[in-house]
Structure 1
Amino acid sequence: MVKQLSGSIREFKRDSILSPLLVTLEAVLEALVPFLMAILIDTGLNHGDITAIITYGLAMILSALIALLLGIFSGHIAARAATGFAHNLRQDLCHHIQGFSFYTINRFTNASLITRMTTDVTNVQNTYMLLIRVLVRSPMVFLVCLILCLNLNFQLGALFLGLSPFIILGIFLIIRRSSPLFTTVYQKYDQLNHLVQENLNAIDVVKSFAQEDAEIHRFKKNSREITHYFSQAKHIMSYNTPLIQSLMYFCTMAIAWLGAHFIVAGSLSTGDLASLIMYTAQMITSLTNISSALAILTIAGTSANRIAEVLSDDSQLAVADHPAPFTADGSIRFEHVSFSYTQDPERISLSDIDFSVNPGEAIGIIGETGSGKSTLVHLIPRLYDVTQGTLLVGGTDVRQVDLKALRESIAIVLQKNVLFSGTIKENLLWGNSQASDDEISKVCDLACADTFIEALPLGYHTVLTQGGTNLSEGQRQRLCITRAFLGKPKILILDDATTALDDNTDAAIQQAFRSYLPNTTKFIISQRIRSIQDTDRILVLKNGKMDALGTHNELLTHNAVYSQMVAQQQRNCHETS
């Protein structure tokens, strides 16, 4: 875990080293103050030496001031190192997640990944600053004070050494009991975030079924569980400070009592006893800070493990070290392809898919719900990898070509119409960032989107809310189709992309496919026979297998599944008319 996360420090290594060095100097100077005070008492006050009092008094003030400046400077550097480290960590997480397949993202869940990139990274950031300051400064102060105590009076200084095993054992037991509880807390946080995300995404469904109270109850239940486990963990961690303080106060009283006897016996001076008491106070403060830091470190340890789990996950889509030459000519070949979402050959979603598509050919895909239509087309841009067999695009195995080059040659309009915060024009430029206003206007006309865009007060500069929720579903669908058109891809995939459109608009867009993108290979998934009957060939899927492949007329004559679907849709049309 440490090795995994430390790779994100990078350009902040110097700050991460410099801050502890400055803190070490601060600790030495802070520990020097009681030492100087002992000399001031024994040499100056006890003998009435004004020069000694002024000299050692100024030395104490100078040491304290330098220590203060070093503390301020080291704090600034530590803050810069911690925030920079967190910035790199978020960047690394984002980059790594972008390489995940859908399978891996679904395994982690969106809510969990968001929690890890926000809450967990913040925890690690705060702890990193704590680590390079408090967990360097406090042990250093304790060590220097202990050495000086042993130097002043070995018997009294040895009291601290005798108590150390009890302190270490107590802290170990506290951390051991609380750590699993913090792990549970962050699992509950993931569930809570998932619940909130689910509710916000489906708020219209919640309200239409009047389920607000039920969802509030679910939220409160999850929130109470977080409170319960967090309170338990914090309750256990709260024993840290009393444990250390009780042991150290015992030590302070012992030093005061034994020190008085040593002074009477003449083996210890008044100044040395005052220094020992000050060192004791500093060591108590240091140990209290260490125990508090360890409590925070325990919480952050859970976050660090969760982040490292994402960064170390090797289930990304494999990228070839030396990508093969890629010709985006639109040709596609499925060679006995099978696919499983669980990567288990025994649980297959697609089985033995074997057919070829020529450049510029239009392929319609139809089948019952769950027959594998969307799964099939998701394999082409490598949103998932085939489990068995080979998928060739442009004559090359998709696993051997550059992933970015492959996806740049493909445009896909998914069942879910995804738009982003920003203007309509900014969303359309995802298809082609270099497109001119004239090109955008032309393609919007082909996709039947120009009319409603121009009717908006700001036209193409209309700002969309997240997901484009200030537009209707049909409008969002047309914008997504326009975005796909704009890039003039070699392969165009429409996954039920016209379900929200009326028959006339659907027909107009189908005609635009043929006229504007004549050389583009097209995959059109639809439940409406009318949307695919004019394609070059139609693939019929049933239970994840190829049931038939042919033209509309061929399938109508020779395929029972297809002919039944045509007959059913015709009956539905007659009934509605």
Structure 2
Amino acid sequence: MQDMKRLLKYLGPYRKDMLIGALLIFVETCFELFIPVLIADLIDVGVANGDIPYIFSKGIQMGICAILALITGLLYARFAARAAYGWGAQIRAAQYEQVQKYSFANLDHFDTSSLVTRMTTDVTVLQNAINGGFRPLFRGPSMLIMGVALSFWMSPRLALIFVVCTPVLGIILFFILRKVGPMYGRLQKVVDRLNNVVQEGLTAIRAVKAFVRGEYEEEKFRDVNQDLMDSSQTTFHYAVLNLPAFQFVMYAAIVLIMWFGGNMILHSTLQVGDLTGFLSYVMQVMNSLMMIANVFLLLTRSLASAHRISEVLDEPVLLTSPENARKEIPDGRIDFENVSFKYHEDAQEYALSGVTLHIQAGQTIGILGGTGSSKTTLVQLIPRLYDATEGSVKVGGHDVREYDLQSLRDAVGMILQKNVLFSGTVRENLQWGNPEADDETLWAACRAACADEFLERMPRGLDTDLGQGANNISGGQKQRLCIARTLLKRPKVMIFDDSTSAVDTATEGKIRTALAGLPDVTKIIIAQRITSVMHTDQIVILDDGKVHAIGTHKELLASDPIYQEIYRSQMKGGDEYGSTAAQC
């Protein structure tokens, strides 16, 4: 319940709508509960005495009560919808805002599919709890209390049947809810798995078709879909038991009331109209109990969803800006001081161990190493996507933990290993780097990244729609657009994480020449090809998370066995210092 109470704080301006809705439910219930009293009078006075005007009078009063109940019910629906969907929107916005604050370490705690489910399905469950549960939540207790009170007013002896039947129904419903409660949490986890399979299958649909693995993916989806169906059937198999339990108690109460009420009529201690009105209250009281039972079922499921949403909102953000943070980055100088790093505190081995590295402002540094040597991990510490476990990382002479995160990341432009472009036009994607950039500035960045070559051939140029994931352009074109986007930031440090792997050697050479025209920008190039780094000021060789060697191309080629092996495997036919490669 604490999770639900916490989420109710997000009602904000919609709290007023919920309060008005509650008031309207109470008024509607009063109108409906007054109708059985009118029915009793109509039968006992109007019908018994053959008083037609009295019958019409009571009929008109009943019609007025019904119309007023209808109006208040319609008004309630309007306010309840505003409260439910407004609340859901506030919760989704709060979750999305929190996720934007997450560091990479925070994101490692959640699957993408799980976050999607928590922002969609789980929020929908809460909205349904308001739409489907708010009315009976207030109407049920109001009708129960007033119905029982009026029943005792009409016939205290018959009303004692409620005292017997109500606890029986309550006990049955308690055991049902106790059984169903944990099942809802498991059900939502199965929905997570289903979303994960769907997301993977649709994202990688081209690979699936290329490898003719459609049947395998269908089987995988069929399994998780069957699991969801089985979990749903099991959960709702128990959840719907409340209906037969309610019907059993209700019909038992009606039989008892008819039995004892009939005897009372025979002994002239109860009138027919009173018994008819009393039966109306029986139905209303039982319906109110049914409403309350349904509310508890909705609440049980919504509590599971509320807990999952609260996990997202309560996740402590691991990387935040310090108080009085530095906002100015003096230059692009980078220093790693005995840096060690592991992704999880309980990990047995470090991904990086004892890294000490000094890069001067304006230098161009190449990083080479085998798969798993932690090249990407090393550069992710510079914009503080992760924090070093031991040691310190400095930019511009200051520890990165002293900087304002936004200022630091604005000063460090990183072209990721996996190119990411968003739905929209080329212009909209490039303006991520500089929202104020005009066409001339955009084209200048595109020329530096050699992206103008293919953009000029497109009919709409910068206004070309890239589609979802930019799937209508090649991998090399994506890389060049990502480079252009980063150039527009005008950063002090640029990190190329194997971001020219999909372009040809000639185009890479042009990009390298353009980058050489940025003397004040520190450039770090992670690459698999020696041709990408052989012209850099220094080359760093990483091996198993440690700095193996540092030097220029000539120095490493003359002394380092790892570099010599990479060179021989890639540069067969070149001379001793790679002149053939230099001409490529």
Q: Which residue of 2 aligns with 1:485?
A: 487
Q: Note the 1:505-544 alignment, pairs <5 A.
A: 505-515=507-517, 517-544=518-545
SS at match of 1:190: helix
Q: Which residue of 2 aligns with 1:109?
A: 111
- 1:49, distance to aligned residue in structure 2 (A): 4.6
- 1:226, distance to aligned residue in structure 2 (A): 0.9
- Structure 2 Cα separation of the partners of residues 358 and 573 of structure 1: 31
Find 1:220's aligned residue among 219, 222, 231. Answer: 222
Q: Which residue of 1 aligns with 2:172?
A: 170
- Structure 2 Cα separation of the partners of residues 335 and 409 of structure 1: 20
- 1:199, distance to aligned residue in structure 2 (A): 1.7
Q: Which residue of 1 aligns with 2:360?
A: 358
Residues 79-132 of structure 1: CA distance to partner in whole angstroms, max 9, x if unpaired? 000000011111011111111222332321111111111111111111122232
Tell me if structure 1 keeps the 8 A contact 2:183–2:235: yes
Q: Note the 1:70-149 alignment, pairs <5 A.
A: 70-149=72-151
Residues 361-395 of structure 1: CA distance to partner in whole angstroms, max 9, x if unpaired? 22211111100100111112222222222222233
Q: Which residue of 1 aligns with 2:438?
A: 436
- 1:543, distance to aligned residue in structure 2 (A): 0.5
SS at match of 2:456: helix
- 1:50, distance to aligned residue in structure 2 (A): 5.0
- 1:171, distance to aligned residue in structure 2 (A): 1.4
Matched, 1:204 2:200: no
- Structure 2 Cα separation of the partners of residues 563 and 30 of structure 1: 90
- Structure 2 Cα separation of the partners of residues 23 and 347 of structure 1: 61
Tell me if structure 1 keeps the 8 A contact 2:340–2:354: yes
Q: Note the 1:139-538 alignment, pairs <5 A.
A: 139-344=141-346, 346-515=348-517, 517-538=518-539
SS at match of 2:339: strand
Tell me if structure 2 keeps the 8 A contact 1:366–1:539: yes
Tell me if structure 2 keeps the 8 A contact 1:326–1:396: no
Tell me if structure 2 keeps the 8 A contact 1:351–1:544: yes
Identity %: 39
In the alignment, residue 385 of structure 1 is paired with which amino acid?
Answer: D
Deviates more, 1:528-537 or 1:472-481: 528-537
Residues 457-485 of structure 1: CA distance to partner in whole angstroms, max 9, x if unpaired? 22211111211111011111111111111
Residues 239-267 of structure 1: CA distance to partner in whole angstroms, max 9, x if unpaired? 11010111011101111111122223333
Tell me if structure 1 keeps the 8 A contact 2:39–2:273: yes
SS at match of 1:9: helix
- Structure 2 Cα separation of the partners of residues 329 and 346 of structure 1: 36
Deviates more, 1:471-480 or 1:62-71: 62-71
- Structure 1 Cα separation of the partners of residues 558 and 378 of structure 2: 25
Tell me if structure 2 keeps the 8 A contact 1:366–1:527: yes
- 1:563, distance to aligned residue in structure 2 (A): 2.9
SS at match of 2:383: coil
In the alignment, residue 141 of structure 1 is paired with which amino acid?
Answer: M
SS at match of 2:170: helix
- 1:189, distance to aligned residue in structure 2 (A): 1.6
Residues 153-189 of structure 1: CA distance to partner in whole angstroms, max 9, x if unpaired? 2221121122222222211211222233332222222
Tell me if structure 2 keeps the 8 A contact 1:324–1:396: no
- 1:520, distance to aligned residue in structure 2 (A): 1.1
Alpha carbons of structure 1 residues 573 and 221: separation in structure 2 relative to 1, 3 Å? farther
Deviates more, 1:380-389 or 1:216-225: 380-389
- Structure 2 Cα separation of the partners of residues 310 and 136 of structure 1: 30
- 1:51, distance to aligned residue in structure 2 (A): 5.4
In the alignment, residue 342 of structure 2 is paired with which amino acid?
Answer: S
- Structure 2 Cα separation of the partners of residues 404 and 442 of structure 1: 25
In the alignment, residue 256 of structure 1 is paired with which amino acid?
Answer: M
- Structure 1 Cα separation of the partners of residues 335 and 534 of structure 2: 22
TM-score of the pair, normalised by structure 2: 0.94
In the alignment, residue 395 of structure 1 is paired with which amino acid?
Answer: G
Residues 335-357 of structure 1: CA distance to partner in whole angstroms, max 9, x if unpaired? 22211112336331111222232
In the alignment, residue 521 of structure 1 is paired with which amino acid?
Answer: T
- 1:573, distance to aligned residue in structure 2 (A): 6.7
SS at match of 2:97: helix
In the alignment, residue 377 of structure 1 is paired with which amino acid?
Answer: V
SS at match of 1:538: strand
- Structure 1 Cα separation of the partners of residues 390 and 178 of structure 2: 45
Alpha carbons of structure 1 residues 66 and 564: separation in structure 2 relative to 1, 3 Å? same
Residue ranges of structure 1 left out of the alignment (5+ in a row)? none
TM-score of the pair, normalised by structure 1: 0.95
Alpha carbons of structure 1 residues 530 and 133: separation in structure 2 relative to 1, 3 Å? same
Tell me if structure 2 keeps the 8 A contact 1:99–1:316: no
- Structure 2 Cα separation of the partners of residues 396 and 326 of structure 1: 10
In the alignment, residue 13 of structure 2 is paired with which amino acid?
Answer: E
User: How many aligned positions are there?
Assistant: 576
Deviates more, 1:556-565 or 1:100-109: 556-565
Find 2:21's aligned residue among 4, 19, 35. Answer: 19
- 1:558, distance to aligned residue in structure 2 (A): 3.6
Deviates more, 1:309-318 or 1:273-282: 309-318
- Structure 1 Cα separation of the partners of residues 501 and 327 of structure 2: 37
Tell me if structure 2 keeps the 8 A contact 1:241–1:292: no
Residues 258-317 of structure 1: CA distance to partner in whole angstroms, max 9, x if unpaired? 112222333322222111111111223223333334333333332222112211111442
- 1:44, distance to aligned residue in structure 2 (A): 3.4
Deviates more, 1:151-160 or 1:423-432: 151-160
- Structure 2 Cα separation of the partners of residues 556 and 309 of structure 1: 52
Residue ranges of structure 2 left out of the alignment (5+ in a row)? none
Residues 513-539 of structure 1: CA distance to partner in whole angstroms, max 9, x if unpaired? 111x22111111011122112222222
Q: Which residue of 1 aligns with 2:42?
A: 40
SS at match of 1:464: coil
Deviates more, 1:5-14 or 1:326-335: 326-335
- Structure 2 Cα separation of the partners of residues 51 and 206 of structure 1: 79
Alpha carbons of structure 1 residues 82 and 316: separation in structure 2 relative to 1, 3 Å? farther
In the alignment, residue 570 of structure 2 is paired with which amino acid?
Answer: Q
Alpha carbons of structure 1 residues 114 and 572: separation in structure 2 relative to 1, 3 Å? farther
Q: Which residue of 2 aligns with 1:564?
A: 565
Q: Which residue of 1 aligns with 2:554?
A: 553
Deviates more, 1:522-531 or 1:316-325: 316-325
Q: Which residue of 2 aligns with 1:69?
A: 71
Deviates more, 1:248-257 or 1:49-58: 49-58
SS at match of 2:572: helix
State the superposition RMSD in angstroms. 2.1
